[in-house]
Amino acid sequence: MGEFSLITLGVGDAFSALYYSSTLVLEAEGSRLLLDCPHPIRKILREAGQSIGTPLDLDTIDGILLTHLHADHVSGLEGYSYYVHYILKQQPKPLVAHPDVLEYLWTGHLLASMGYPKREDAAERSLNDFFDVKTLPEGESVQVGPFTVECHLTDHVIPTTAFRVTACGRTLGYSADTAYVPELIDWLAASDMIVHETNYGVPHTPYEKLAALPAELREKMRLIHYPDDFNHAESVIEPLVQGQRYVI
Ligand SMILES: [Zn+2]
């Protein structure tokens, strides 16, 4: 059985001056998914690829998992889909998200630039012209290549989901943006590796809450979406480093 690994394209928050926004490539059996998609995604991929010694570009990305619609997680979708459509001339690729996340992706985000409401043919354009949309409610799963994907709503300021992604017999749990929610951590705890966000403020998880978790959870937990002044040296949970590959 092959390896299931993640590549850290970015580990920072929306305000970071040091890192790209939190984004991963998931890799198994020669297939790759993006977990969120900030701009400029091709530059972000290229730099991570240089860091790990494996060329990375959109032509080898097979789909996207989308956690929520904050710009630091979705600002690359327009460039991504235009690049796939006009430059690579490939069919729309899978985009997996919860129905509440998908609800305003077109009308509240992409329509203004990709459909332009006043164009005569605007009504003929839709999300489905650019993405193979796969709606993922809680309690169900979606298969994309070798990846089985499940989701769980988090406690954030807009609809947001965590993901459990299984491939090669291993499971990655990804908290996405969320306040501290013990029930969500229980859901993620079934995973072999948990990538959890930490940051300041109400819609995020304070580091102290995660540091107080049982050692067996902390040992398989990695941190992402941390602030620029996060204290790596004193963290009792390993922070992910941008531009690295981690085997799950
Ligand atoms: Zn957010």
Residue 121's pLDDT band (cuts 50, 70, 90): confident
Model's pTM, two decimal places? Answer: 0.95
Question: Distance between CA 18 and CA 230 in Å, rounded?
Answer: 11
Asked if residues 184 and 175 have their Cβ atoms less than 8 Å apart, the reply is yes
Domain hosting 40: range is 4-247
Q: For 80-95, what is each residue's pLDDT tens digit?
A: 999 999 999 999 999 9
Q: For 44-67, what is each residue's pLDDT tens digit?
A: 999 999 999 999 999 999 999 999
Q: For 230-246, what is each residue's pLDDT tens digit?
A: 999 999 999 999 999 99
| CA geometry: angle 91, 97, 101, nearest 5 deg | 120
Return the bridge partners of 12, or none: 21
pLDDT at 209: 96
What residues flank ion ligand 1 with Cβ within 5 A? 70, 177
Number of domains in the chain: 1
Distance between Cα 157 and ligand 1 center (Å): 7
Q: Say whether pLDDT at 70 is over 90.
A: yes
Distance between Cα 1 and ligand 1 center (Å): 35
Q: What is the CATH number of the domain that holds 233?
A: 3.60.15.10
Asked if residues 7 and 50 have their Cβ atoms less than 8 Å apart, the reply is no
Q: Say whether pLDDT at 115 is over 90.
A: no
